[in-house]
């Protein structure tokens, strides 16, 4: 991290002379002839592949120049001299134009809007919002931390409240003293803590209460404590419990703490000589830590419905979770979840329905409750037949109103109109469907529904439903304004954060271990810190003022705490918290050189330019790479002790079968060679200076060269390919549909708007939601 690179090299992407020009018709015709004679046997007459020879379809995103070269050098297989020079160029021109290029692919098989069910995340979020209708949702607040009340005496007695304050976290160590001014050591006191916990991601969290004193913790519900540590027994000071939380939602959390012994009759007995209280959590895939302030709000929030029914994983084969397939296990999960929602509702039925057990109009109120649930879940008002089908009938047929509610909820949540959220967007057979009379593109309910799916993965809230009911969501300007209102919300933030982590490949909480001899301090704790550092940086960029995508790639600051600073050779003012630390710009480039990524794309002792290059090519530049024809083990560094990592990789990928892809991959990865297997900056490897020169051939055939990560980052930040790739990925993550289904020009247009808005990610999100809200073409 130290030192200065002598002499800045200005980045001047070197542009090759051969910009692409459309091939003449005669050339294409000649190419077609040759293809038909020499290539079609293996590749199929339309490049669709031949299962007996070369099964893969002939599609990709190399520029035509490279295609020409590959054909000239390697094709036909075993007899490359049969097609060279102008012949190769003609074949390349034909192949490129007819089926190979992305444009041709789009023309031949335009991506279509795919009927989708709710993903498991969308199911859970929607179910939670159904009950939120009746209890309200958490208010937004900029305050962070815990509301603390201090009481003198043994109990929480409002008359003895001495102090009120907001603490940053639940991390108290009072020793033998007292937090109450004027109270002497060893005197009894009690504490009531109120906060709400915002879950950054969906999953299982472990809560861990640590105290030698008596305490109890209520979570999300007031009836039973989640952790009851009022009774002390033996040396036990830690109490754990697991909870399943949904991304972006706030959960009420309340703690009572007693310095004195619980249930004690003995006078003057103040319990354990020391008083302390900590609340830790273990996020999915992370180590336990005191819950940081940024996830705590010092307010009370309404209860959330938690559907923790296990769902089978959604199909993510195309890079984003989507609901385009169903299975028996999924159908059963939807049944179990629907039963669980009904059970939860029935548990506090009168409270939800705002009625009383002996009220005369109770049944009507319960029926009205079900009708509201049905209208919200099915995403538009019910007609009379639906009212009867989803609600009325069950009240006539069940033996008790509670039973009716459970049946009604079951039928509603198993309905295709709930499970397939945008069913009405599909082309209907007009002769059969009364709903076909509604034009989906101007139907306010459909628009409200899609906005809620895009931003929150959930159902419309009250405000959206009302706007839809008034038919206000028709004009683009209104839709855009509505989307803007939805952006700065905890759920949207969580969704964007999950996208970014997925994009950067760090969402799979795999174990990252390094050679213990070489990197003894690279502990699970440090890995967890790296995740935190990355997340803080992402939030800083996306939710900071400019929200500039380019900063993700080029910023030279990194969030460090004391442990990370020590490990990576920097200094911080306050070691116990994370803070942004500026690094030498030549040695740092946003997420690209972030040690969380550098260490992830590396082996346990050595770097991996191939992993780093593949990540850049696929995730940042959006290039299509085929998997290697067979699995390779990396060449052993021990057996090639005299070679640098770069030389070793070059040696292994030299054969032509490898080189076609690796001449794209390797030079991208080589630019990172100044970052070792744990992401520490280095100048030398094995006593020799590392070589960070690299180059890249764009899809349009431009040659770009760079030295080191800074020049690479500057190139990427200005690269149309990188911009389009980011826009496309975000679109798919947000909408769960391919962007091509919204027109062949859509990606380009969205990217133009992205550029015009100075690459503001939040504005891009709004534009994506607006496109999605109008429905597929």
Partner 1 sequence: MQPRSRREFVRSLGIGAAALPFLSNLPSLCFAGSGGRKQRLVVVFSPNGVVKKTFWPDQTGAKYELKESLKPLEPFRDQLLILNGVDDKVKGDGDNHMRGIGCLLTGTELFPGNIQGGSHTPAGWSSGLSIDQEIKNYLQARPETRTRFGSLEFGVAVPDKADTWTRMVYAGANQPIAPIDDPYQMFNKLYGRMHDQAMLSSVLDEVREDLEKVSRRLSAEDRRLLEEHATFVRQAEQDLQREQQQQTLHPMPPLDPDVEDRNDNMPTISKMQIDLMVNSFQNDFARVSTLQYTRSVGGAKMTWLGIDEGHHALSHEPNSDEAAQQKLTKINHWYAEQVAYLAERLRQTPEPGGQGSLLDNTTILWTNELGEGNSHTMNNIPFVLLGGGLNFAMNRSLNLKGVPHNRLLMALAHGFGHHIERFGSDNFCSGGALELS
Considering only 158, 159, 429, 626, the residue that binds partner 1 (CB under 8 A) is 429
How many residues does the structure list for the chain?
Answer: 777
Quote the CA–CA distance of 70 and 80 in Å, as a whole number.
Answer: 10
CA dihedral 454, 458, 464, 466 (to 10 degrees): 150
Does 264 help bind partner 1 (rule: CB under 8 A)? yes
Q: How far is the CB of 326 from partner 1 (least distance, A)?
A: 5
Q: How far is the CB of 403 from partner 1 (least distance, A)?
A: 4
Does 652 help bind partner 1 (rule: CB under 8 A)? no
Closest CA to 773 of 472, 382, 572: 472
Does 268 help bind partner 1 (rule: CB under 8 A)? no
* Choices 201-209, 257-265, 295-303, 620-628; region in contact with partner 1 by CB under 8 A: 257-265
Strands 189-198 and 250-258, sheet pairing: antiparallel
User: For residue 157, with 0-12 CB atoms within 10 Å meaning exposed, 13-18 middle and 19 or more buried, which class applies?
Assistant: exposed
Nearer to partner 1, 121 or 422 (CB): 422
Other Cβ atoms less than 10 A from the Cβ of 688: the count is 9
Nearer to partner 1, 234 or 627 (CB): 234
Quick check: 361 and 355 in contact, CB under 8 A?
Answer: yes
Does 420 help bind partner 1 (rule: CB under 8 A)? yes
* Choices 67-75, 258-266, 438-446, 599-607; region in contact with partner 1 by CB under 8 A: 258-266
CA dihedral 378, 383, 385, 388 (to 10 degrees): 70
Exposure class string for 554-569: b at 16+ Cβ within 10 A, else e: bbbbbbbbbbbbebbe
Quick check: 154 and 123 in contact, CB under 8 A?
Answer: no
Nearer to partner 1, 111 or 585 (CB): 111
Closest CA to 620 of 716, 502, 740, 508: 716
User: For residue 633, with 0-12 CB atoms within 10 Å meaning exposed, 13-18 middle and 19 or more buried, which class applies?
Assistant: exposed
Q: How far is the CB of 154 from partner 1 (least distance, A)?
A: 11
Quote the CA–CA distance of 518 and 146 in Å, as a whole number.
Answer: 42
Considering only 10, 17, 385, 432, the residue that binds partner 1 (CB under 8 A) is 432
Other Cβ atoms less than 10 A from the Cβ of 377: the count is 22
Considering only 233, 437, 573, 576, the residue that binds partner 1 (CB under 8 A) is 233
Strands 203-210 and 275-282, sheet pairing: antiparallel
Does 263 help bind partner 1 (rule: CB under 8 A)? yes
Strand, coil or helix: 229: strand
Q: How far is the CB of 143 from partner 1 (least distance, A)?
A: 34
Other Cβ atoms less than 10 A from the Cβ of 735: the count is 25
Residue with tokens 């940086």: 537
CA dihedral 50, 54, 57, 63 (to 10 degrees): -140
Considering only 358, 439, 573, 630, the residue that binds partner 1 (CB under 8 A) is 358
Residue 131: C-alpha distances to residues 126, 278, 392, 410, 583 (Å): 9, 32, 20, 14, 48
Nearer to partner 1, 426 or 659 (CB): 426
Contact code string over 78-117 relative to partner 1, x by CB under 8 A: ----------------------------------x--x-x
Q: What would you report as the CA-atom Rg of the chain, rounded to the nearest whole angstrom? A: 30
Nearer to partner 1, 310 or 634 (CB): 310
* Choices 141-149, 259-267, 588-596, 703-711; region in contact with partner 1 by CB under 8 A: 259-267
Considering only 403, 515, 540, 685, the residue that binds partner 1 (CB under 8 A) is 403
Q: How far is the CB of 267 from partner 1 (least distance, A)?
A: 11
* Prior bond of 361 cis (ω within 30°): no
Quick check: 321 and 330 in contact, CB under 8 A?
Answer: no
Nearer to partner 1, 351 or 518 (CB): 351
Q: Which residues contact 357 (CB under 8 A, 6 or more apart)?
A: 350
* Choices 28-36, 402-410, 677-685, 702-710; region in contact with partner 1 by CB under 8 A: 402-410
* Choices 130-138, 248-256, 419-427, 621-629; region in contact with partner 1 by CB under 8 A: 419-427
Nearer to partner 1, 335 or 441 (CB): 335
Q: Which of residues 311-340 bind partner 1 (CB under 8 A)?
A: 324-328, 330-332, 335, 339
Nearer to partner 1, 385 or 631 (CB): 385
Closest CA to 671 of 627, 591, 616, 726: 616
Nearer to partner 1, 406 or 762 (CB): 406
Nearer to partner 1, 186 or 718 (CB): 186
Q: How far is the CB of 420 from partner 1 (least distance, A)?
A: 7
Quick check: 213 and 460 in contact, CB under 8 A?
Answer: no
Beta bridge partners of 219: 253
Q: How far is the CB of 244 from partner 1 (least distance, A)?
A: 20
Does 777 help bind partner 1 (rule: CB under 8 A)? no
Does 24 help bind partner 1 (rule: CB under 8 A)? no
Does 414 help bind partner 1 (rule: CB under 8 A)? yes
Quick check: 709 and 636 in contact, CB under 8 A?
Answer: no
Considering only 78, 416, 520, 627, the residue that binds partner 1 (CB under 8 A) is 416
Does 266 help bind partner 1 (rule: CB under 8 A)? yes
* Choices 186-194, 412-420, 546-554, 652-660; region in contact with partner 1 by CB under 8 A: 412-420
Nearer to partner 1, 141 or 269 (CB): 269
Other Cβ atoms less than 10 A from the Cβ of 399: the count is 7
Does 360 help bind partner 1 (rule: CB under 8 A)? no
Strands 693-697 and 214-219, sheet pairing: unpaired
User: For residue 440, with 0-12 CB atoms within 10 Å meaning exposed, 13-18 middle and 19 or more buried, which class applies?
Assistant: buried
Strand, coil or helix: 354: coil
Quote the CA–CA distance of 292 and 68 in Å, as a whole number.
Answer: 56
Considering only 103, 108, 204, 400, the residue that binds partner 1 (CB under 8 A) is 400
Q: How many residues bind partner 1 (CB under 8 A)?
A: 61
Does 427 help bind partner 1 (rule: CB under 8 A)? yes
Considering only 91, 190, 214, 452, the residue that binds partner 1 (CB under 8 A) is 214
Nearer to partner 1, 23 or 419 (CB): 419
Other Cβ atoms less than 10 A from the Cβ of 625: the count is 15
Beta bridge partners of 242: 206
Quote the CA–CA distance of 615 and 659 in Å, as a whole number.
Answer: 17
Does 593 help bind partner 1 (rule: CB under 8 A)? no
* Choices 25-33, 297-305, 392-400, 681-689; region in contact with partner 1 by CB under 8 A: 392-400
Does 134 help bind partner 1 (rule: CB under 8 A)? no
* Choices 126-134, 341-349, 524-532, 563-571; region in contact with partner 1 by CB under 8 A: 341-349
Which tokens in the block code for residue 592?
């690209």
Quote the CA–CA distance of 28 and 36 in Å, as a whole number.
Answer: 12
Considering only 66, 372, 387, 428, the residue that binds partner 1 (CB under 8 A) is 428
Does 396 help bind partner 1 (rule: CB under 8 A)? no
Beta bridge partners of 240: 208
Does 122 help bind partner 1 (rule: CB under 8 A)? no
Contact code string over 174-213 relative to partner 1, x by CB under 8 A: ----------------------------------------
Contact residues for partner 1, defined by CB under 8 A:
112, 115, 117, 214, 228, 231-236, 261-266, 269, 271, 324-328, 330-332, 335, 339, 346-347, 349-350, 357-358, 389, 398-403, 405-407, 410-411, 414-417, 419-420, 423, 426-429, 432-433, 436
């Amino acid at each position: 991290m130290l030192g200065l690179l002598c002499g800045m090299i200005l980045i001047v992407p070197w542009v090759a002379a051969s910009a692409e020009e459309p091939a003449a018709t005669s050339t294409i015709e000649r190419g077609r002839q040759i293809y038909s004679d020499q290539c079609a046997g293996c590749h199929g007459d339309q490049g669709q592949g031949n299962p007996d020879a070369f099964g893969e379809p002939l599609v990709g995103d190399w520029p035509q120049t490279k295609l020409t070269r590959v054909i000239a050098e390697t094709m036909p297989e075993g007899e490359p001299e049969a097609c060279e020079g102008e012949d190769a160029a003609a074949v390349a021109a034909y192949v490129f134009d007819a089926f190979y290029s992305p444009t041709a692919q789009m023309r031949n098989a335009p991506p279509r809007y795919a009927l989708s069910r709710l993903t498991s995340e969308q199911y859970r979020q929607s179910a939670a919002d159904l009950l939120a209708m009746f209890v309200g949702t958490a208010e937004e607040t900029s305050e962070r931390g815990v509301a603390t009340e201090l009481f003198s005496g043994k109990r929480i007695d409002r008359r003895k409240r001495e102090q009120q304050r907001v603490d940053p976290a639940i991390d108290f160590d009072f020793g033998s003293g007292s937090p109450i001014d004027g109270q002497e050591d060893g005197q009894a006191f009690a504490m009531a803590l109120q906060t709400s916990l915002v879950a950054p991601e969906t999953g299982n969290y472990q809560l861990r209460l640590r105290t030698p004193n008596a305490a109890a913790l209520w979570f999300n519900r007031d009836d039973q404590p989640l952790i009851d540590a009022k009774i002390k027994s033996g040396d036990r000071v830690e109490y754990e419990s697991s909870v399943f939380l949904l991304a972006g939602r706030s959960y009420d959390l309340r703690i009572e703490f007693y310095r004195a012994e619980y249930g004690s009759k003995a006078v003057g007995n103040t319990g354990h000589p020391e008083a302390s209280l900590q609340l830790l959590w273990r996020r999915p895939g992370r180590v336990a830590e005191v819950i940081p302030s940024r996830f705590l709000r010092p307010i009370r929030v309404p209860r959330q419905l938690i559907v923790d029914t296990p769902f089978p994983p959604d199909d993510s084969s195309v890079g984003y979770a989507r609901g385009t397939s169903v299975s028996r296990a999924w159908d059963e999960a939807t049944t179990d979840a629907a039963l669980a929602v009904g059970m939860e509702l029935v548990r506090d039925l009168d409270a939800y329905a705002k009625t009383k057990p002996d009220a005369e109009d109770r049944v009507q109120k319960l029926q009205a409750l079900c009708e509201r649930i049905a209208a919200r879940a099915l995403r538009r008002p019910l007609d009379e037949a639906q009212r009867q089908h989803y609600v009325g009938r069950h009240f006539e047929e069940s033996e008790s109103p509670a039973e009716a509610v459970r049946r009604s909820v079951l039928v509603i949540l198993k309905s295709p109109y709930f499970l397939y959220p945008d069913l009405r967007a599909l082309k209907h057979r007009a002769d059969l469907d009364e709903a076909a009379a509604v034009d989906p593109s101007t139907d306010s309910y459909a628009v409200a529904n899609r906005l809620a799916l895009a931003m929150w993965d959930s159902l419309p809230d009250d405000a959206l439903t009302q706007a839809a009911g008034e038919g206000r969501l028709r004009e683009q300007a209104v839709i855009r304004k509505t989307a803007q209102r939805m952006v700065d919300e905890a759920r949207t933030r969580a969704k964007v954060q999950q996208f970014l982590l997925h994009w950067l490949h760090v969402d799979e909480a795999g174990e990252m271990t390094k050679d213990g001899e070489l990197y003894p301090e690279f502990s699970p704790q440090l890995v967890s810190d790296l995740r935190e550092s990355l997340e803080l940086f992402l939030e800083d960029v996306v939710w900071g003022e400019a929200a500039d995508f380019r900063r993700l790639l080029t910023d030279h600051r990194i969030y460090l705490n004391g442990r990370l600073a020590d490990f990576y050779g920097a200094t911080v003012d306050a070691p116990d918290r994370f803070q942004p630390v500026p690094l030498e710009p030549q040695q740092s480039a946003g997420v690209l050189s972030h040690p969380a990524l550098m260490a992830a794309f590396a082996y346990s002792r050595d770097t991996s330019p191939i992993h780093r290059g593949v990540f850049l090519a696929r995730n940042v530049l959006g290039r299509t790479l085929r998997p290697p024809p067979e699995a390779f083990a990396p060449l052993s560094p021990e057996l090639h002790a005299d070679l640098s990592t770069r030389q070793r990789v070059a040696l292994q990928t030299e054969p032509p079968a490898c080189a076609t892809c690796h001449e794209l991959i390797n030079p991208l990865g080589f630019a990172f060679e100044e970052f070792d297997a744990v992401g520490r900056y280095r100048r030398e490897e094995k006593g020799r200076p590392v070589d960070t020169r690299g180059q890249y051939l764009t899809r349009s055939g431009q040659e770009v060269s760079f030295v080191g990560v800074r020049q690479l980052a500057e190139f990427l930040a200005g690269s149309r390919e990188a911009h389009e790739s980011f826009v496309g990925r975000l679109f798919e993550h947000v909408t769960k549909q391919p962007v091509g289904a919204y027109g062949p020009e859509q990606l380009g247009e969205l990217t133009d708007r992205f550029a015009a808005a100075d690459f503001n990610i939040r504005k891009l999100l709004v534009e994506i939601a607006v496109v999605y809200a109008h429905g597929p073409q």
